[in-house]
Amino acid sequence: MTDTALQATAAASGASATQRFLADKTGTPATAAADTARVNTLATEVITALHDVVRRHQVTYDEYNVLKSWLISVGQDGEWPLFLDVWVEYVVEEVAHANREGSKGSIEGPYYAPGAPTLPSVATLPMRENEPGTRLLFQGQVTDVSGAPVAGAVLEMWQADDAGFYAQFAPGIPEWNLRGSVVADAEGRFAVTTVQPAPYQIPTDGSCGRLIAAAGWHAWRPAHLHVKVSAPGHESVTTQLYFKDGEHIEDDVASAVKPELILDPKQVADGRNEVTYDFVLAPAS
């Protein structure tokens, strides 16, 4: 086991995700709370649904106290972003973008970090010397819904390394390792060299891990690339791209896999893999 694996804990990872969320999404609670009627409806229905579960399953005080203790520990571990992104976000994304034209989206997850280094249309993501993993050329084109190229579209990319760890959320990894903002050319084209990521477990030594163990679930996510595509005048797309026949494609703990998001890389002569995937952006509403 690597030093990174030994030191990467759920508490540290959760705390980093919480701090990142608070820094990047500061305005979200105030914006959401502005519509009192909407908050009333959503909060009432969530609480009523919980009441229904208690009644239907005759929840005991012992079980209630276990739940109460667990909820407190989720906050203490800083794992609310992890819990919500793994078990709730995929439904929010599905509802929010049900009628959007163009490419399919997926969850952002807790490990996005804005401000990644800007890279040209043909680029290699920042990586360590002798970065482990099979080299992957990820290439394609960004167009609008009419098929016209979107010049200068920005593809923010981030991913786990071959051991399943993300830069800025695990110790011992350079800050921008396997993270970059790629600017497509005048024809909307891009060609990015990276490494093919591995499947990984979400952190299991904290509160989310205790829930997984108690329920008899698994904690695995299939290997994936994160991509956030944006351009002026267009609606941005945040997605995750998976790999054909990869482990846990059928039972992703975050339920985020969609058929349209599965890549099928082909090996080329030098041993690396190549894959082409195009993005289609809808006009901004």
Query: Cα(160)–Cα(111) distance, rounded to whole angstroms?
Result: 9
- Could you tell me if residue 213 is inside a domain? yes
- Could you tell me if residue 76 is inside a domain? no
- Could you tell me if residue 31 is inside a domain? no
pLDDT score for 5: 46
pLDDT score for 190: 98
pLDDT score for 131: 94
Q: Provide the number of structural domains found in the chain.
A: 1
pLDDT score for 15: 64
Per-residue pLDDT of the chain (285 residues; tens, 9 = 90+): 344 444 555 556 666 767 767 676 655 555 555 688 998 999 999 999 999 999 999 999 999 999 999 999 999 988 898 899 899 999 999 999 999 999 999 999 888 999 999 999 999 999 999 999 999 999 999 999 999 999 999 999 999 999 888 999 888 899 999 999 999 999 999 999 999 998 988 888 899 999 999 999 999 999 999 999 999 999 999 999 999 999 999 999 999 999 999 999 999 988 899 999 999 999 998
* Nearest C-alpha neighbor of 275 from the set 245, 231, 242: 242
pLDDT score for 31: 57
Q: Contact 281/145 with Cβ under 8 angstroms?
A: yes
* 212 three-state secondary structure: helix
Which residue pairs, CB below 8 angstroms and at least 24 apart, start in 204-207?
Answer: 204/10, 205/9, 205/10, 205/11, 206/9, 206/10, 206/11, 206/14, 206/73, 206/77, 206/79, 206/82, 207/10, 207/70, 207/73, 207/74, 207/76, 207/77, 207/79, 207/83
- Could you tell me if residue 10 is inside a domain? no
- Could you tell me if residue 70 is inside a domain? no
- Could you tell me if residue 35 is inside a domain? no
- Could you list the residue range(s) of the whole structural domain that residue 268 is in? 96-281
- Could you tell me if residue 144 is inside a domain? yes
Q: Tokens standing for 46? A: 């969530």
pLDDT score for 144: 97
Q: What is the CATH number of the domain that holds 119?
A: 2.60.130.10
Distances (CA, A) of 153 to 29, 120, 237, 279: 29, 11, 11, 10
Bridge-based pairing state of the strands 135-144 and 237-243: unpaired
- Could you tell me if residue 267 is inside a domain? yes
